[in-house]
């Protein structure tokens, strides 16, 4: 099974298929423990690992599978995620409660906040009848293309960073991909507590009608330098531009350079078009588990349909 793990950056994602020699979850955990260094090296090289055919069939066996990698837990409650999700174990929760026809566009998990996980894992308990793939895109390749085709604006983004403005509702709005209320997002109960939390995080804010909280971050990184010297396009630009309400029509409502200047519409369109050329659709099979290096790979969700509900769960690690 390890024959495919060559740490070759041109292979994406790295696939590890069980040839039926591992028949139990206990044997799987033992095998993971014995090969942990090799697997983590492969993840760092290529950015995504797909495990197929292993005895992982529910959230509890998945929790044990992911826990074997010994990442520190990154829970939904402590995150600043603006997606509505439901916990099934303390570590495992649904990927997103948005309806099946809503696309979740490419993004680095929680890159629109100052607190984000290092590793994302996804588990497919049941694949959709139609669609529902997880889109994956290498951030190093995206950066290289943008640097070649939009050198000046990519450099400005790298030098100034980016500010995001998010609208947090008073009540959860699961009909969108970004509908978590401000109490849950900030893990607070009152407006005063929310403002204290925002102040500590370096945000600016204002309250809109209906107790909607409009919060803008300080300048956050849009390009990061990895330990191995690779530069990566690390942000939520595509998800915000394509998926947040009204942003494609008016990008400045949610996005600007870190110096508060507007990001040109044409540059945003270029980012999207290049990412679409580079994207890989991971078409799920029941029992699949994926590990994604959040620093190196963006992910998203394709719309899906059919009588069978798509059930994909997530666990995050530091």
pLDDT tens digits, 92-118: 998 888 888 999 999 999 999 999 999
User: Is pLDDT above 80 for 166?
Assistant: yes
The radius of gyration computed from the CA coordinates of the chain, to the nearest angstrom, equals 19
CB 292 within 8 A of CB 120: yes
User: Is pLDDT above 80 for 175?
Assistant: no
Strand order in 104-107's β-sheet? 104-107, 297-301, 134-138, 280-282
Q: What is the model's pLDDT at position 236?
A: 97
| Mean pLDDT score across all residues of the chain | 93
Q: What's the pLDDT band for 178 if we cut at 50, 70, 90?
A: confident
Locate 287 and state its tokens.
């029992």
Q: What is the model's pLDDT at position 85?
A: 87
Query: Quick one: three-class SS letters along 30-80?
Result: HHHHHCHHHHHHHHHHHCEEEEECCCCCCHHHHHHHHHCCCCCECCCCCCC
Q: What is the model's pLDDT at position 161?
A: 98
Task: Measure the CA–CA gap between 133 and 85, rounded to whole angstroms.
Answer: 18
In the structure, how many helices (H) and strands (E) does the chain have? 9, 18
Backbone angles phi, psi at 19, to 5 degrees: -90, 25
Chain mean position to CA 146: 20
Report angle CA 174, 179, 182 to the nearest 5 degrees. Answer: 130
User: Is pLDDT above 50 for 3?
Assistant: no
Determine the average pLDDT of the residues in 220-231: 97
Helices in the chain by DSSP H: which ranges? 25-34, 36-46, 59-67, 139-149, 151-160, 182-186, 191-201, 237-243, 265-278
Neighbouring residues of 264: CB distance < 8 A, sequence distance ≥ 6: 153
3 state DSSP class of 193: helix
User: Is pLDDT above 70 for 2?
Assistant: no
Q: What's the pLDDT band for 84 if we cut at 50, 70, 90?
A: confident
pTM across the whole model: 0.93
DSSP secondary structure code for residue 34 in this structure: H
Determine the average pLDDT of the residues in 9-31: 91
Locate 206 and state its tokens.
């204002």
């Amino acid at each position: 099974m390890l024959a495919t793990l060559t740490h070759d950056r041109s292979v994406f994602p790295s696939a590890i298929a069980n040839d039926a020699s591992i028949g139990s979850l206990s044997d799987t955990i033992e095998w993971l423990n014995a090969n942990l260094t090799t697997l983590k090296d492969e993840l760092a090289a290529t950015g995504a690992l797909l495990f197929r055919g292993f005895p992982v069939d529910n959230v509890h066996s998945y929790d044990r599978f992911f826990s074997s990698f010994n990442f520190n837990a990154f829970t939904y409650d402590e995150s600043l995620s603006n997606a509505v999700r439901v916990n099934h174990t303390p570590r495992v929760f649904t990927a997103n409660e948005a309806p099946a026809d809503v696309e979740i566009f490419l993004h680095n998990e929680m890159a629109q906040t100052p607190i984000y996980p290092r590793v994302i894992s996804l588990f497919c308990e049941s694949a959709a009848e139609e669609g529902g793939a997880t889109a994956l895109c290498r951030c190093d390749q995206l950066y290289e293309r943008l640097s070649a085709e939009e050198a000046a604006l990519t450099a400005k983004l790298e030098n100034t960073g980016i500010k995001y403005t998010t609208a947090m509702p008073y009540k959860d709005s699961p009909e969108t991909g970004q509908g978590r209320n401000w109490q849950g997002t900030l893990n607070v109960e009152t407006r005063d507590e929310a403002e204290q939390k925002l102040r500590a995080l370096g945000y600016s804010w204002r309250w809109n009608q209906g107790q909607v909280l409009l919060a803008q971050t300080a300048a956050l990184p849009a390009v990061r330098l990895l330990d191995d010297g690779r530069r990566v396009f690390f942000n939520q630009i595509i998800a915000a531009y394509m998926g947040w309400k009204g942003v494609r029509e008016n990008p400045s409502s949610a996005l600007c350079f870190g110096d508060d200047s507007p990001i040109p519409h044409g540059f945003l369109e270029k980012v999207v078009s290049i990412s679409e050329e580079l994207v890989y659709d991971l078409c799920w099979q029941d029992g699949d588990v994926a590990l994604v290096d959040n620093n190196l790979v963006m992910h998203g969700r394709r719309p899906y349909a059919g009588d069978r509900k798509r059930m994909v769960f997530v666990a995050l690690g530091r």
